[in-house]
Amino acid sequence: MNLPSRPFTETPFELAVDGGSIHGHFGGTGVPALLLHGGPGVNDYMGGCAAELANLFTNIRYTQRGVEPSTAAGPYTIETHMADAIAILDLFEQGKAWAVGHSWGGHLALHLAVTYPERLYGVVCIDPLAATDDRAQFAEALRRDLDGEQLARLAEISEHHDDGSVTEEELLEEIQILWPSYFYDRSKAPPCLIEHRGVEATLETNRSIDEHFAARTLKKGVGRIDLPVLFVHGIEDPLPLSGSVQTANHIKGARVARIPRCGHLPWIEQPGFVNRSLRGLISLL
């Protein structure tokens, strides 16, 4: 499938993979970029980011396996998620693309850079879970301003996470409670972008992330990355900026763009910042 140059409109696509299919959209103009959403185990919410970058890239965004509308079953591992990303590049007959990942998607983009560097032009990590495991600090910061009733309900859902009995309804309730905390200005948080959460995809992908942190896969691997790498991170993000800074320090030539007055979703709170930062990176290549 050839990627056309066109003004920003998006066209749906479907890719058959082992266990089902992956559903996504492509649009924009320029070299291809894979947009990797966060989560894990949530629907693709990167439409706004794709629109912001549409004059730089032909963006290919998709919902990762295990979450509607994608139907692909497990295993839900970092290895399988990487294989899906490479299969999408093959579908579009692209030898290389930029990997643009948000949150967990930034973590996945770094794994791609370590494992499949020959398939990438470069990496952009937007408020990522980087090579340091900052998930405990992230969870604490998200809960900092919640009331007792909200905290009690989150504790109940967390117990169900731990024993494997959590439901999609509970996972959606969890993100609804936490959603305003992702933003610098909680009062201006838009409606939640998460409509679907895959239970098995959430639990099993997080288990795979745990295993790779234990194995120090990224800590040992990022120093070998020989690609342009940009970290873009909100200063007020509950996911600590320090993770991006520390990871960038181990990658030759990596840059960190700090976004003032911004939480976890910069294309919403500071529209245009990611585009400008990327233009600066590309101008140096």
Task: Quick: pLDDT tens for 226-241.
Answer: 999 999 999 999 999 9
In a domain, 38, yes or no: yes
- Alpha carbon 217 to its chain centroid, in Å, reads 18
In a domain, 143, yes or no: no
Look up the CATH number of the domain holding residue 26: 3.40.50.1820
User: How many angstroms separate the Cα of 189 from the Cα of each of 204, 234, 249, 268?
Assistant: 29, 15, 32, 9
Q: How far apart are CA 129 and CA 143, in angstroms?
A: 18
Q: How far apart are CA 120 and CA 171, in angstroms?
A: 33
In a domain, 191, yes or no: no
Q: What is the pLDDT of residue 7?
A: 53
In a domain, 159, yes or no: no
Q: What is the pLDDT of residue 8?
A: 67
62-101 pLDDT tens trace: 999 999 999 989 999 999 999 999 999 999 999 999 999 9
Question: Domain limits at 209?
Answer: 11-136+197-283
Q: Decide if 88 contacts 122 (C-beta within 8 A).
A: no
User: How many angstroms separate the Cα of 224 from the Cα of each of 108, 250, 253?
Assistant: 16, 9, 12
**CB neighbour list of residue 122: distance below 8 Å, 6 or more residues apart:** 98, 99, 227, 228, 229, 230, 281, 285
In a domain, 180, yes or no: no
* Nearest CA among 88, 137, 130 for reference residue 229: 130
* Nearest CA among 35, 104, 117 for reference residue 76: 104
Q: What is the pLDDT of residue 284?
A: 60
Average pLDDT for the chain: 95
113-144 pLDDT tens trace: 999 999 999 999 999 999 999 999 999 999 99
Q: What is the pLDDT of residue 280?
A: 79
- pTM score of the predicted model: 0.95
Domains: count for the chain: 1
Q: What is the pLDDT of residue 282?
A: 76
28-48 pLDDT tens trace: 999 999 999 999 999 999 999
**CB neighbour list of residue 227: distance below 8 Å, 6 or more residues apart:** 113, 117, 120, 121, 122, 123
In a domain, 223, yes or no: yes
In a domain, 131, yes or no: yes
Q: What is the pLDDT of residue 18?
A: 87
In a domain, 185, yes or no: no
